[in-house]
Structure 1
Amino acid sequence: MDANLEVGNRREAAGLKPVHFGWDVVGKVGVITLNRPERKNPLTFESYAELRDLFRLLAYADDVRTVVVQGAGGNFCSGGDVHEIIGPLTKMSMPDLLAFTRMTGDLVKAMRACPQPIVSAIDGVCAGAGAIIAMSSDLRLGTARSKVAFLFSRVGLAGCDMGACAMLPRIIGQGRASELLYTGRNMPGDEALAWGFYNRVVAEDELNAAAVALAQDLASGPTFGHAMTKKMLHQEWAMGVDEAIESEAQAQAICMMTQDFHRAYNAFANKQRPSFEGT
């Protein structure tokens, strides 16, 4: 980035020290670990907000090219903590409840707006808000023993939480999404793979390494191009085909201006593997 633009537009993510979850940077991969294993890694008011803020910051961090989200202790995330979130919510006023639901939705918005592809590594319990975080990721690796549940109806709520009614049907189809959102039942690993929710199922002891390896592979690719792909995948939900084709024409022309595009051509011409630098 030009030195004149760095102030206010560039942040280093490697040195961050979140309080409510783990954060490590492995090469160019940022690894988020939800680490309350004794409770199956539930979220709290504080962790929701801190995750939202981290993903917002990643829009300005060029030292991280991809992100992995994983859980500690054999589970991904059990959703909102029953005692630290659900209990207090039953005593809140409508304005405070709306502030909370908007905050949780802002986490999803931040995940979709950050330019880095996000890979979720899903094992064990993946329920409620945990299922939403998985859904909001770009790629999902799971295990056979994992159980994904959009269980909002089981606690007396609607299935339309944090964008689920918009995003889940686009991943697995309207009928399948309707079943999961109405019933709140568990979706086991083999079904999640067959329905297209998972990109791949791997062994439990290989899951986190496989997710990082996938993220590292993406991180070695054309960073600007990946960010553009993510943006267009998101924006084209609301476009007609003709509008989408024109938008992609503009996006691809912009990508052709990058040095990575020229590096790829020169490498191909010289029968070499391209080395992408994200510029």
Structure 2
Amino acid sequence: MSANPVTLPLSGYAARNFGFEVRGKTAVVTLNCPEKKNPLTFESYAELCDLFRVLARDEAVKAMVVTGAGGNFSSGGDVHEIIGPLIAMDTVGLLRFTRMTGELVKAMRACPQPIVAAIDGVCAGAGAIVAMASDLRFGTARAKVAFLFNRVGLAGCDMGACAILPRIIGQGRASELLYTGRALPGEEAERWGFFNRLCAPESVLADALAMADEIAAGPTFAHAMTKRMLHMEWAMSVDDAVEAEAVAQALCMQTEDFGRAYRAFAARQKPVFEGD
């Protein structure tokens, strides 16, 4: 846990290690150390992890946007604040650190709100992992996504990369990026499926916010169920997945939003979902 526990409601939360605000039903995290290209630190890792875990209990926030300040997303772990101290740690300390960073990915995948990443400029190392762990990624042509771990003598298997990245862009392409550490330009990232959409630098955040707001206006319980099933079904057989989805959909059919959608359809109106 961070030294500054994340508290509810999130609309009143003052983050210490990154920018944070709630705009209507959408919350926005801004990695905001632009002079260093928005690196992650021990403190920001911990606070981000706390934030995403608390999201599971916040009923007002329906979607998330993660972005970076100053024309870059994130350069990854801070060289001096993180990588330097790691050299001096023993195995116990190193494992404590790697497990802590992995908890951020777990928290992002476990929070019920869909997460949209708005990515411009540098998106490297742990920054690329944060983008990868988001549900949707809007990028720019000048973005450069790089899983740089091999460049510092480490394996590509960091924070779930070997599990998640192949499911986004395929095993062969993920292998290339994780073995070489090369930067993936924005247009190629879109062709490969890492970016859902390519946007102009001046509009990428607005476009991501528009998508998040569209999601936030939808059926909250159903969206949370979709995210949960997308995550859980990675480890299921097709038969198990079909059965799990039958149960999930039956639960969704008991929500008020399902009834609202039917009544709106019958009246030839657009449904207005309320999240219950």
Same fold (TM over 0.5): yes
Aligned mate of 1:273, from 247, 270, 274: 270
Query: Counterpart in 2 of 1:76?
Result: 73
Counterpart check, 1:87 vs 2:81:
no
- Alignment map for 1:107-256 (pairs within 5 Å): 107-256=104-253
Identity %: 70
Long gaps (5+) in structure 1: 1-9
Provide the C-alpha distance between the structure 2 equivalents of 1:11 and 1:274, rounded to a whole number of angstroms. Answer: 29
SS in 2 for 1:204: coil
Structure 2, gaps ≥5 residues long: 1-6
**In structure 2, what residue type is equivalent to 1:78?**
S
Q: Which amino acid aligns with 2:77?
A: G
Aligned residue number for residue 5 of structure 1: none
Q: Which residue of 2 aligns with 1:260?
A: 257
Matches of 1:13 and 1:253, distance apart in 2? 31
**Could you say what secondary structure the match of 2:11 adopts?**
coil
What is the DSSP-based 3-state SS (H/G/I as helix, E as strand, rest coil) of the residue aligned with 1:25? Answer: strand
1:240 maps to a residue whose letter is: S
* Counterpart residue identity of residue 231, structure 1: R
Q: Secondary structure at the match of 1:225?
A: helix
Q: Distance in 1 between matches of 2:92 and 2:233?
A: 33
CA distance in 1 between counterparts of 2:154 and 2:269 reads 55
The question of 1:102 aligning with 2:99 is answered: yes
Question: Residue deviations 1:194-222, cap 9 Å, x none?
Answer: 00000000000001111101000000000
* 3-state DSSP of counterpart to 2:58: coil
Separation in 2 of the partners of 1:121 and 1:84? 25
CA distance in structure 1 between the partners assigned to 2:207 and 2:11 by the alignment: 21
CA distance in 1, matches of 2:199, 2:14: 30
Find the counterpart in structure 2 of residue 34 from structure 1.
31
> Partner amino acid for 2:275?
G
Letter in structure 2 aligned against 1:98: L
Please report how far the alpha carbon of residue 185 of structure 1 lies from its aligned counterpart in structure 2 after TM superposition.
Answer: 0.3
Distance (Å, rounded) in 1 between the aligned partners of 2:59 and 2:234? 27
Contact 1:11 1:62 in 2 (8 A): no
Counterpart residue identity of residue 264, structure 1: A
- Give CA-to-partner distance per residue, 1:60-83, whole Å, 9 cap, x none: 001100000000000000000000
- In the alignment, residue 257 of structure 1 is paired with which amino acid? Q
Q: Partner letter of residue 181 of structure 1?
A: L
Q: How many residues are aligned here?
A: 270
Q: Distance in 1 between matches of 2:86 and 2:159?
A: 16
Letter in 2 for 1:85: I
SS at match of 1:142: strand
Secondary structure at 2:163 match in 1: helix
Shift, 1:12, TM fit = 1.6
SS of the aligned residue for 1:168 comes to: helix
Distance 2:107 2:262 in 1: 34
Q: CA deviation at 1:148?
A: 0.1
Q: Secondary structure at the match of 1:14?
A: helix
With the length of structure 2 as denominator, give the TM-score of the two structures: 0.97
CA shift at 1:11, angstroms?
Answer: 3.7
Return the offset for 1:158. 0.2
RMSD: 0.8
User: CA offsets per residue over residues 40-64 of structure 1, 9 Å max, x none?
Assistant: 0000000000000000000000110
Secondary structure at the counterpart of residue 205 of structure 1: coil
Q: Distance in 1 between matches of 2:8 and 2:248?
A: 25
